[in-house]
């Protein structure tokens, strides 16, 4: 097997994911395969870091006017934003199975807590769709006002410290979204808001699952290769058998990695990459930081306690030459503060400072607090302390 060193992997990462300066948000999503959409701000910040002329307005237009970026609950039962031409592939390879699982779980929950059966669930789904077609776009609360069944409340974990109320509407809307019968429209408030309106949509054409899986693996290898079977199994959420069949279908070629593991590349994609080092400030849950399960080749394990929360979510990161070298946060005054946790040469520090200025301009005074906060981000988000000479 041809060896691919960690240095080569970092050069590929820099060239294919960090140095992008695309003209349209869809081009960025295409290069990254998909963006993590759990935190609304992540989508904007991931795109802004890689656009030639970044602006929240350009991202908003792609999401809601052109709908050239599509949200799906897909790989690993995670919300992704993907380019529209890849949506059917993601749906058939991953999201369709997630939707079936969501339906089973929703029916069990509604039956146990509200006495609903499948016919009632189908009737409420149909009534909700009819109401949304009449309204054009509506929030969950507005839909519940039009469809009283959505407002039904159920107590979850009664008597326990984490007892909570859940509405039937949260389950029904999630199901309709998973089936791509409705989609998220512009939220109420700014671009960091998750108070989405909903609007009718159309299901994607169903592709043969095996063909869709092989196409998704081909796209992943083109952007993230080389990667291991473990990386792909984690990223997709599929079984190991599904991963191996998809790798075989695309003719993936094995390579030897510095870790001793066997990686895979697309046929003919083993040329040496000579890429100039690039700086980037990426948001929490950025797809590059979350692209592989095995991360030691670009992330020093000693940095993880500062950069991850307690459940394994990565926070805002600073990159240089294909490696995580620090983190960043936003001060109360809107300025971006960053800190290096690894040695970076002077040109790299200047490049990081320039990216921080670029990010500050993109934010335009909008305050962004990651949904999953990490120790370093929390510290950097505190008010700046005056220098000792200014006390």
DSSP-derived pairing of the beta strands 253-257 and 2-4: parallel
Q: Residue 385, class by beta-carbon neighbours within 10 Å (0-12 exposed, 13-18 middle, 19+ buried)? A: exposed
List, in sequence order, the alpha helices (H) in 115-184.
118-135, 140-146, 168-178
**Residue 390, pLDDT score:** 39
**Residue 160, pLDDT score:** 81
**Residue 211, pLDDT score:** 98
pLDDT above 60: residue 389: no
DSSP-derived pairing of the beta strands 196-200 and 182-187: antiparallel
Q: Model confidence over 97-122: pLDDT tens digits?
A: 999 999 999 999 999 888 999 999 99
Q: Model confidence over 160-179: pLDDT tens digits?
A: 887 888 899 999 999 999 99
pLDDT above 50: residue 322: yes
pLDDT above 60: residue 79: yes
**Residue 386, pLDDT score:** 63
Q: What is the mean pLDDT of the segment spanning 44-48? A: 98
**Residue 234, pLDDT score:** 97
Average pLDDT, the chain: 95
pLDDT above 90: residue 15: yes
**Residue 381, pLDDT score:** 95
Distance between CA 349 and CA 45 in Å, rounded? Answer: 21
Q: What is the mean pLDDT of the segment spanning 381-385? A: 85
Q: Model confidence over 196-220: pLDDT tens digits?
A: 999 999 999 999 999 999 999 999 9
Portion of the chain with pLDDT greater than 90, in percent: 92
- For the chain, domain boundaries: 86-200, 279-382
Considering the entire predicted model, what is its pTM? 0.94
CA dihedral 72, 75, 76, 81 (to 10 degrees): -40
> If one looks up domain 86-200 in CATH, what number appears?
1.10.10
Of the listed ranges 86-90, 157-161, 268-272, the least confidently predicted one is 157-161
Of the listed ranges 24-28, 175-179, 246-250, 387-391, the least confidently predicted one is 387-391
């Amino acid at each position: 097997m041809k060896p691919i060193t960690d240095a080569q992997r970092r050069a590929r990462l820099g060239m294919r994911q960090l140095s992008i300066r695309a003209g349209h948000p869809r081009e960025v999503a295409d290069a990254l395969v998909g963006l993590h959409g759990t935190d609304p701000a992540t989508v904007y910040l991931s795109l802004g870091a890689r656009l030639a002329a970044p602006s929240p307005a350009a991202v908003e237009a792609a999401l809601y006017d052109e709908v050239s970026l599509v949200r799906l609950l897909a790989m690993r039962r995670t919300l992704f934003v993907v380019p529209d031409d890849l949506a059917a592939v993601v749906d058939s390879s991953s999201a369709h199975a997630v939707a079936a699982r969501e339906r089973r779980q929703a029916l069990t929950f509604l039956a146990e807590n509200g006495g609903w059966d499948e016919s009632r669930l189908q009737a409420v789904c149909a009534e909700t769709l009819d109401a949304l077609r009449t309204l054009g776009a509506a929030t969950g609360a507005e839909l519940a006002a039009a469809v009283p069944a959505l407002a039904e409340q159920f107590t979850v974990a009664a008597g326990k410290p984490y007892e909570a109320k859940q509405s039937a509407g949260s389950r029904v809307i999630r199901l309709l979204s998973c089936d791509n019968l409705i989609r998220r429209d512009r939220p109420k408030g700014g671009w960091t808001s998750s108070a989405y309106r909903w609007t009718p949509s159309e299901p994607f054409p169903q592709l043969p699952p095996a063909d869709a899986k092989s196409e998704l693996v081909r796209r992943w290898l083109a952007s993230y290769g080389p990667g291991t079977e473990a990386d792909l199994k984690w990223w997709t959420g599929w079984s190991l058998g599904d991963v191996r069949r998809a790798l075989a279908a695309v003719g993936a070629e094995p390579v030897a990695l510095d870790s001793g593991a066997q990686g895979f590349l697309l046929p003919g994609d083993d040329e040496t990459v000579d890429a100039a080092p690039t700086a980037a400030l990426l948001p929490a849950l950025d797809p590059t930081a979350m692209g592989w399960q095995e991360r030691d080749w670009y992330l020093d394990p000693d940095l993880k306690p500062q950069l991850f929360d307690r459940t394994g979510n990565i926070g805002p990161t600073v990159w240089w030459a294909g490696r995580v070298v620090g983190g960043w946060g936003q001060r109360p005054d809107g300025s971006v503060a960053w800190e290096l946790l690894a040695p970076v040469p002077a040109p790299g520090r200047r490049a990081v400072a320039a990216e921080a200025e670029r990010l500050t301009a993109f934010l335009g005074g909008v305050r962004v607090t990651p949904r999953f906060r990490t120790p370093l981000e929390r510290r950097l988000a505190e008010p700046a302390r005056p220098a000792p000479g200014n006390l």
